[in-house]
Amino acid sequence: MKRLMLTISGFALATAVFAAGELDKAVLHGETDKERATEYKPGETMTFTLSIQGAETMPTNKLFISWTRTGDDGIKETGKVPASLTEPLVVKTKLDKPGFVRLEAYVVDEKGRHFEKTRKPGKLSWADLAKLKLFFDGGAGVEPEKLQGVPEPADFDAFWAKQRARLAAVPMDVERKVVSSTAEKSLYAVRIACAGGKPVTGYLSVPKDAENGAKKYPARLETHGYSYRPPYNPPSLRGGEIVLNINAHGVNLPAFGADEAYYKDFGEKIKSNGKAYAFDPVQNSNPETAYFNGMALRVMRGLEYLKSLPGWNGKDLYASGGSQGGLQTIWAAGLDPQVTKAESSVTWCCDMGGTELGRNRGNWYIKWVPALGYYDPINIARRISKNCRTLIPRAGLGDYTCPPSGLAILFNNIPGPKKINWDQGSTHPYVPPEKHQKFSVTGNGWVD
């Protein structure tokens, strides 16, 4: 997510104070006394054990582990102990109601500045910046199967019936331009007329023998994380599928004449009242002016287009994406009953009304207004067909861009076969490189 990336990047630069040397390959490993960290009972003691792994010696600088415990109960606790290769840090806590506890810990110097590993030359990604720190960010849950959000809008289904009517009123006019062609497949830049003021734009990959329907294939809609720039690369390489990879905004593509100046101007134009797209509570106060409205319409139109292709097999319709793309994936599955498989990783914007219920939301979320209830994945998830298999490939117990409480509610509300993979110590961009606690929860007849 672009805005969050910039925030974290600036923080990393401000707090990094020296190179590591001996600790360049080290990790701050964390685990709970229960391997399945979402199976605690109210009031039961949760024991976290944190240890520095992957190093034989410590730097001569005096280092500490500084930790903070927060949770859905609003309680905050902190502590700091000397960093040691032989003495692990043990933190014990509890939660008296359904929800999650978060434990953050960083190796710091005497002034509390974050320890940083040796930087490599070149531009660093958000995930690379996270790897420079020696940290743990994870958690544990109490009866997450009992969690629910604020009530959904009373006219939820009527609202979406109206949006489908708006979409049906716009003919599905399509422009396609060949980007590349091989013996196996063709790649097109596409622009598809849509309701909501902007078209669907993206890249379509079609197996050669599916062009005129000689052979039939499953079809997949791929969606993106938080950004307004289109992909410059083809859709994911997936064997035996027709793939439409769309951006969230109907942004123009280079194949249709867009250049760098266009993208810079576009990024400014989609802001509202000085706020990044989708973050303006005034714009969001009306569900038809909310930025998410056009995004959802484009998801629905993208699926319609895939189903119109002569090479689609008429039965297998997939949607996949992560973060904001995970949000759109749930929209796809909940708003189109023909979707048969949804893969929604680290799904953004689940339980947006959780702030009203006092849940821990981290520092980067959209301010709740009731109109957002029409777009919250926890509500749309209830409409997913029971014939659709829904997978949440990764849910980070330390991800407070997409908090675990929201992903738990999302999982609770899916009516068909479902699976969620929980990752201990995993944040939004980061998965611990060492062997760490991972476990899955399934429901409604899921079979791997």
Using CA of residue 15, residue 21, residue 24, residue 30, what is the dihedral sign? negative
pLDDT category of residue 234 using cuts at 50, 70 and 90: low
In this structure, the dihedral spanned by the alpha carbons of residues 52, 58, 62 and 64, taken in order and rounded to 10 degrees, is 0
Verify that 227 and 96 share a domain, yes or no. no
Verify that 310 and 387 share a domain, yes or no. yes
Per the rule left: phi > 0, alpha: psi between -120 and 50, beta: everything else, 16 is beta
pLDDT category of residue 37 using cuts at 50, 70 and 90: very high
The pLDDT of residue 59: 80
Verify that 394 and 340 share a domain, yes or no. yes
Whether residue 150 lies inside any domain: the answer is no
Per the rule left: phi > 0, alpha: psi between -120 and 50, beta: everything else, 256 is alpha
State percent of the chain over pLDDT 70. 94
The CA distance from 114 to 106, in Å, is 7
Name the 3-class secondary structure at 226: coil
Number of separate domains in the chain: 2
Verify that 179 and 113 share a domain, yes or no. no
In the predicted model, is pLDDT for residue 424 greater than 80?
A: yes
Whether residue 151 lies inside any domain: the answer is no
Boundary residue ending a domain (103, 121, 145): 145
Boundary residue ending a domain (88, 116, 145): 145
Q: What is the mean pLDDT of residues 122-148?
A: 90
Verify that 113 and 201 share a domain, yes or no. no
The pLDDT of residue 97: 98
The pLDDT of residue 60: 73
Lowest-pLDDT range of 48-62, 83-97, 387-401: 48-62
Q: Which domain holds residue 111?
A: 2-145
The pLDDT of residue 18: 46
Q: What is the mean pLDDT of residues 234-256?
A: 88
Lowest-pLDDT range of 12-26, 229-243, 319-333: 12-26
Verify that 258 and 348 share a domain, yes or no. yes
Lowest-pLDDT range of 8-17, 237-246, 338-347, 429-438: 8-17
The pLDDT of residue 280: 98
The pLDDT of residue 4: 33
Boundary residue ending a domain (145, 176, 197): 145
The CA distance from 291 to 283, in Å, is 7
Verify that 277 and 335 share a domain, yes or no. yes
pLDDT digits (tens, 9 = 90+) for 211-225: 999 999 999 999 999
Q: What is the mean pLDDT of residues 278-297?
A: 98
Q: What is the mean pLDDT of residues 100-116?
A: 95
Per the rule left: phi > 0, alpha: psi between -120 and 50, beta: everything else, 430 is beta
Verify that 329 and 419 share a domain, yes or no. yes
125: domain CATH number is: 2.60.40.1930
pLDDT category of residue 58 using cuts at 50, 70 and 90: confident
Cβ-based neighbour number of residue 354 at 10 Å: 24
Whether residue 168 lies inside any domain: the answer is yes
The pLDDT of residue 8: 30
Name the 3-class secondary structure at 187: strand
Residue 427 structure tokens? 């944040």
Residue 217 structure tokens? 């294939």
Verify that 141 and 165 share a domain, yes or no. no
pLDDT category of residue 232 using cuts at 50, 70 and 90: low
The CA distance from 93 to 138, in Å, is 13
Using CA of residue 355, residue 380, residue 5, residue 2, what is the dihedral sign? negative
Whether residue 278 lies inside any domain: the answer is yes
The pLDDT of residue 9: 30
The pLDDT of residue 121: 79
The pLDDT of residue 159: 98
Q: What share of the chain is helix, strand, coil (3-state, %, to 5)?
A: 25, 30, 45
Whether residue 169 lies inside any domain: the answer is yes
Is the distance from CB of 83 to CB of 58 less than 8 angstroms? yes
Q: Look up residue 116 and give its DSSP letter.
A: B
In the predicted model, is pLDDT for residue 202 greater than 90?
A: yes
Query: What string of DSSP letters covers 386-405?
Result: TT-EEEEEEEETT-SSS-HH
Q: What angle do CA 260, 227, 199 make, to 5 degrees?
A: 75
184: domain CATH number is: 3.40.50.1820
In the predicted model, is pLDDT for residue 1 greater than 90?
A: no
Q: Which amino acid is at 20?
A: A
Verify that 271 and 162 share a domain, yes or no. yes
Verify that 387 and 430 share a domain, yes or no. yes
Between 291-308 and 324-335, two packed helices, what is the crossing angle to 10 degrees?
Answer: 60
Verify that 184 and 319 share a domain, yes or no. yes
